[in-house]
Structure 1
Amino acid sequence: MTVEPAPARILGSRRWLLVIGIMVLAANLRCSITSVGPVLDFIAADLHMSSGTAGLLTSIPLLGFAAFSPIAPLVAARWGMERTLWAAVALLGCAIVLRSVPAPGMIWAGTVGLGGAIAFINVLLPPLLKRDFPNRIGQLTGIYSAVQGGVAALASGIAVPMAGADGQAWRLSLGIWAGLALIGLAVFAPQLAKRSAPPTGATGIETVGAAARYRSPWGSALAWQVTIFMGVQSMMFFVTAAWVPSIEQAMGGSATRAGWHLFLFQLVGLLTSLLTSTLIHRVRDQRGLCIAGTLCSAVEFTGILLFPQAMVVWMIFAGLGSGSCIVLGLSLFGLRTEHHRQAAALSGMAQSIGYLIAACGPTMFGLLHDLGSGWTLPITAIEVCLAVQLVMATLAGRDRFIGVRRVTGS
């Protein structure tokens, strides 16, 4: 395995400043999305949306992830990861503000913008860790996933109180997170003085010696296994965040209670992310962890269907499943590759196709609910998806590498 030495170019306080910057960027990754679920009914009522249309609103960021993820490594190769990340955070802040503007179409335009911005950050953080902290991929991925989950939990927990009992202030509830993007711009700004070196080859893939190029993930079965695992586990997260509050309210629970149960889901996910990060490098491979996380998600949805009164229990299982699987999915980008540019390519592929898969989740769930006039049909469909995730967990969790492609000619 070819790994560049832990960079001497990032030392001392500068190294810690980069870690802090990464964590602040991670804090921006989900709060603008998880703040929507608890107030989705208010938004739908105010803007006269059907369940399917409301589901589409929650799916648009994921479609943005799918559309923009393949572009992110190309832009970063030209402009540098640090500058690209900073620009993405600036776009995110603007998009959050735009989404809350009370003008026709602004909620859709802002949602598209934040989806594109988050896509760039999603894709570029894993290869940044692979490049600058190659021996701490699992640990730092777990920490930044926990930060991401913690802020996302806070966003879901305060969404309804911020919107008010009648939901009239839902625009404020969504818009306040632009302030966090501004903090991200300030904290990450010192990294703009540094620019990652462009790739040596014209194709954007760096060579190793003169005889090999890193293999493209698009032609690798292992990369597709990682991609599908990433996509389905992401679907579970976004379906839970977007629809479980609505399920609970439909069964007689209050919007505030549903919001705090979503907070519990995020909190358990945060703690599970930290625990998983400590286990990743202590096991021979990641199959057992991937399978355990998938089974927790299966228990969540089965429990919601069969005994919804115990929603607290099912939200704990939801947090165990999502919290472990997101860390595993992100860590696999570095663990299954041999160089940060290959990791960037896998990250772009997995988050493009993976989030396209995930985007189908909330919309499919809403449409199946409308079709069946209940929750049995959409939850059954989710369980089928989890069976696919279980197979991919077994395959992607093996200790394998995408490797290199040998080149015989010039």
Structure 2
Amino acid sequence: MIMGNSQLTNYVGQSRLDLKPRIGWLILGIILIGANLRASLTSVGQLVAAIRDDLGISNTLAGVITTIPLLAFAFLSPFASNLARRFGMELTLLISLVILTIGIGVRSFVGKETLFIGTVLIGSSIAICNVLLPGLIKYNFMKKIGMMTGLYAVSMNLFGAVGSGISIPISSSLGLGWSGALGCWGLLSLLTIFIWLPQLQYQQKSGQVEKTREEVKAISLWRSELAWNVTLFMGFQSFIFYTVITWIPEILEEKGLNTHEAGWTLSLMQLAMLPVTFLVSILAGRLKSQRLLVAVSASLLIFGFAAIIYGDKLLMPLWMIIIGIGIGFAFSLAMMFFSLRTQNANEAAELSGMAQSLGYLLSAIGPVLFGWLHDITHNWTVSLLMLVFTSVIVLISGIGAAKNEYVPIKGSSLKSL
């Protein structure tokens, strides 16, 4: 039986009152979960050569280390919302954090098998958290979606930047090796588990809102042009980010930077994303249509990649900052579209699952295609032009995703949950 409008209003109003005692811990928990979503992945890029040489694996197998998490995102994202409905969002997130911590520990043992097993566990746990956070925010912070999305996105990108920048210093300067540099992120996930534990006492209250399929009408995503635009926008902006994270350091080294300088230049790009990520999330939440923001994002990306090809090498840090701002715009919009194009937390999780599943499948192709183009052309120009073309696709799909509409629902419309 579906609740009437007055019942829903009273129930949701009561849930917001119940939220007040835990609001501080909830916000801190969301920020810390966001911090775990990239650091354990971006920290790998600068250490791939050391891992390859230490374990005696091929370049192809070494490249798989960064591809596995993206494939996990692609294949597990569709199941995240079902897990949340069955076990509750808070408990599902907690279990994912535990698996993440175990995965980081297993990956840190020096061995080929443990390296890949740990990477699979890490990718699987992050996939679930990626999907559920937008729905969690939409349910608990209906009037502050932009601010809360901005907070966890900033946390994600900040720790992602730190992960890229400190991997080599921890590995070499502190003498911990690549295993120690990767393993230190287990401390962050362990802290997050303890901060998140108090949320379990609110588990049943949150679950009551979305406890059965009958109470929430099915979303017709696969036939929705809007949902496909959100998915393509999510996928191609992610395609760009992970390709840049994987290959830009090597491009920078070929242009004269040493390993440390290339790592910190990549971190500079990610640091440039931080203020933009927060501000764009808030601004997007206040606009009925986000098309202007999409246009700014795509323009910055096109200009930045073109500048790397044809611009002054001495201005490379500036070009990377421009690209970072463009990626920050696109990433914020992608996260906001899950909430802005849906009417309740269940729909947000469903759209997030579809967009991240297919989107990360697309992004997994990016680094491989970029490297293949370099192998057959023996230069980076064609590969970088591919990113210019991808930025045009981001513009086209983003214009469609920015419409002031909601994804369609089969049957009668249920306006709020």
CA contact (8 A) 2:55 2:111 kept: no
Counterparts of residues 8-47 of structure 1 (less than 5 Å): 8-47=16-55
| 2:394 is the counterpart of 1:386 | no
1:301 aligns with 2:305: yes
Offset from partner CA, 1:203-257 (integer Å, 9 cap, x none):
x3633xxxxx242322211001000100111111111111111111122211110
164-173 or 134-143: bigger deviation: 164-173
**Conserved 8 A contact 1:18-1:191:** yes
Cα 1:338–1:330, aligned 2, differ >3 Å: closer, same or farther? same
Which among 314, 318, 321 is matched to residue 319 of structure 2?
314
Q: Give the alignment partner of residue 197 of structure 1, picking from 200, 207, 227.
A: 207
Match of 2:359 among 349, 354, 357: 354
SS at match of 2:406: coil
Q: Which deviates more from structure 2 when the two are superposed, residues 73-82 or residues 240-249? A: 240-249
Shift of 1:49: 4.8
Deviations 1:50-72 (A, max 9, x none): 55444332121111100110111
User: Which deviates further from its counterpart, 188-197 or 53-62?
Assistant: 53-62
1:280 to 274, 279, 284: 284
Task: Write the distance in 1 (CA, Å) between the matches of 2:367 and 2:214.
Answer: 35
Aligned partners of 1:239, 1:205: CA distance in 2, in Å? 41
Distance 2:394 2:336 in 1: 17
Amino acid at match of 1:31: A
Whole-angstrom CA distance in 2 between matches of 1:227 and 1:9: 34
Q: 1:200 to 1:112 in 2, by over 3 A?
A: closer
CA deviation after TM superposition for structure 1 residue 342, in Å = 0.9
> Could you tell me which residue of structure 2 aligns to residue 130 of structure 1?
138
Structure 1 395/330 Cα, relative in aligned 2: closer, same or farther at 3 Å?
same
Code of the residue aligned with 1:187 in structure 2: it is I
Q: Is the 8 A contact 1:78 1:198 kept in 2?
A: no
Q: Choose from 156, 162, 167 the match for 1:154.
A: 162
8 Å CA contact 1:159–1:173 kept in 2: the answer is yes
The question of whether the paired residues in 2 share the 8 Å contact of 1:231 and 1:353 is answered with: yes
Q: Larger deviation: 359-368 or 320-329?
A: 359-368
Q: Does 1:267 align with 2:271?
A: yes
Cα gap change, 1:311 to 1:167, in 2 (>3 Å): farther
Distance 1:324 1:200 in 2: 31
Q: CA deviation at 1:175?
A: 1.4
Structure with the higher fraction of residues in helix conformation: 2
TM-score between both structures, scaled by the size of structure 1: 0.92
Relative distance call for 1:198 and 1:362 in structure 2 (3 A) is farther
Aligned equivalents of 2:265, 2:58: Cα separation in 1 = 24
Coordinate RMSD, CA, aligned: 2.2
User: Any idea what the Cα deviations from partners look like across 1:93-152, whole Å, max 9, x if unmatched?
Assistant: 111121121122222211111111000000000000111111111111011101111111
From 233, 237, 257, the equivalent of 2:237 is 233
On the 8 A contact 2:145/2:285 being kept in 1, the answer is no
Distance 1:50 1:191, change over 3 A: same
Which structure 1 segments of 5+ residues have no match? Answer: 208-212
Q: Distance between the aligned counterparts of 1:369 and 1:199, measured in 2? A: 51
Which one-letter code corresponds to 1:46 in the other structure?
D
Q: Structure 1 residues 336, 200: CA separation in 2 closer, same or farther (over 3 Å shift)?
A: closer
Which residue of 2 is the match for residue 400 of structure 1? 405
Which of 79, 92, 96 does residue 71 from structure 1 map onto?
79
Amino acid at match of 1:366: G
Question: Does structure 2 retain, via aligned residues, the 8 Å contact 1:261–1:315?
Answer: yes
Deviations 1:23-82 (A, max 9, x none): 111110000111112222333333445554443321211111001101111111000000
Q: Which has the higher mean CA deviation after the structures are superposed, 159-168 or 59-68? A: 159-168
Mapped contact 2:226–2:401 kept (Cα < 8 A): yes
**For the Cα contact (< 8 Å) 1:338–1:403, is it kept in 2?**
no
3-state SS in 2 of match to 1:219:
coil
Percent identity for Structure 1 against Structure 2: 37
Three-state SS of the structure 2 residue aligned to 1:70 is: helix
* C-alpha spacing 1:403/1:48, structure 2 compared with 1 (3 Å): same
Amino acid at match of 1:191: Q
Of 213, 221, 224, the match for 2:225: 221
Tell me the equivalent position of 2:341.
336
Distance 2:138 2:387 in 1: 33
| Amino acid aligned to 1:239 | T
Which residue of the partner structure matches residue 292 of structure 1?
A: 296
Q: What residue number does 2:215 align with?
A: 206
CA distance in 1, matches of 2:257, 2:175: 16
Distance 1:189 1:355 in 2: 29
Over 3 Å counting, the alpha-carbon distance change for 1:314 and 1:48 in structure 2 is farther
Q: Which whole-Å CA distance do the structure 2 matches of 1:90 and 1:201 have between them?
A: 24
1:252 maps to which residue? Answer: 256
**Equivalent residues in 2 for 1:85-164, closer than 5 Å:** 85-164=93-172
Distance 1:346 1:279 in 2: 21
Give the CA deviation at 1:368: 2.2
Q: What is the match of residue 210 of structure 1? A: none
Aligned residues of 1:303 and 1:314 also touching (Cα < 8 A): yes
Paired AA for residue 231 in structure 2: T
Q: Could you give the per-residue CA deviations for residues 171-201 of structure 1, whole angstroms, max 9, x where no partner exists?
A: 2111110110001101001011222326768
Where does the alignment leave 5 or more consecutive residues of structure 2 unmatched?
none
Q: Kindly indicate whether the alpha-carbon contact (under 8 Å) linking 2:285 and 2:336 is maintained by their aligned counterparts in 1.
A: no
Q: Distance in 2 between matches of 1:407 and 1:279?
A: 31
